[in-house]
Amino acid sequence: MKKLILTLVLALTPALFFGQSAFDKYDGENGVTAVIISKKMFELMSNIKPDAKNKDAQQYLNLVKKLDNLKVFVTSNKKISADMKATSTKYLKTAALEELMRINDDGKNIKIYVKSGATSSKVKELLMFIEGGNSKDDDTVLMSLTGNFDLSEISVLTDNMNLPGGDALKKGTKGSKGPKGPK
């Protein structure tokens, strides 16, 4: 009987942690602004009926239907920023994401990674990490977006949601045909 219980506990333990993201530890942490949007919220947002003449609103709602989760964490705390960098580096080693691009802009390092979907322009996951610059007012931003969406649609999301780091993301995906196929 003890072996059965031990086996069940060991078998179910990974399930307890499966739903957790590597970045969830920043949710609720002092010094971190967190924006987390769940699949349920995206589903509710997609039920809005836009004006048929407003193409931007229609594009936005079409994208929202394809999204599962959005998590954005922002901090100006140097210790938390260093931890975010270490956590994202560790996550990248296990998540099979490809580097889409890097930008070094006025002391800020911006890195964008993707996990490809069924086609070269489809994305299952997008991870953006903006390492704050040398100024004490420079924020570090960590953003994770999951779903099954086209990379070219991201500018619609950044325009409508005013996301931190949205300008960098728009620069990075403007005119992009998507990442190269798997290595």
Q: What is the pLDDT of residue 47?
A: 82
Work out the angle between the directed axes of helices 55-64 and 154-161 (0-180°, nearest 10): 100
pLDDT band, very low/low/confident/very high, at 85 (cuts 50, 70, 90): very high
**71-97: average pLDDT:** 92
CA angle (140, 145, 147) in 5-degree steps = 175
- Name the pLDDT band for 181 (thresholds 50, 70, 90): very low
Token representation of residue 122: 């489809």
Rounded Cα distance between 142 and 139, Å, is: 10
**Could you give the C-alpha distances from 105 to 132, 133, 152, 168, in angstroms and in order?**
10, 9, 22, 9
Does residue 7 register a pLDDT over 60?
Answer: no
Q: Does the pLDDT at position 177 exceed 50?
A: no
Of the candidates 33, 140, 145, the residue with the CA atom closest to the CA atom of residue 97: 145
Q: Which is higher by pLDDT, 155 or 78?
A: 78
Query: pLDDT for 24-39, tens place per residue?
Result: 899 989 999 999 999 9
Segment 12-20 mean pLDDT: 40
Place of tokens 């975010």: 84
Strand partners, 37: 70
Both tokens of 181, joined, read 């196929």
Could you give the C-alpha distances from 81 to 9, 41, 48, 108, 157, in angstroms and in order?
35, 28, 37, 13, 25
Q: Is the pLDDT of residue 67 over 50?
A: yes
Judged by DSSP in three states, 128 sits in strand
Regarding predicted confidence, which is higher, 13 or 137? 137
pTM over 0.85: no
CA angle 85, 90, 95 (to 5 degrees): 120
Q: Which amino acid makes up residue 109?
A: N
Confidence band for 18, pLDDT divided at 50, 70 and 90: very low
pLDDT at residue 158 greater than cutoff 80: no
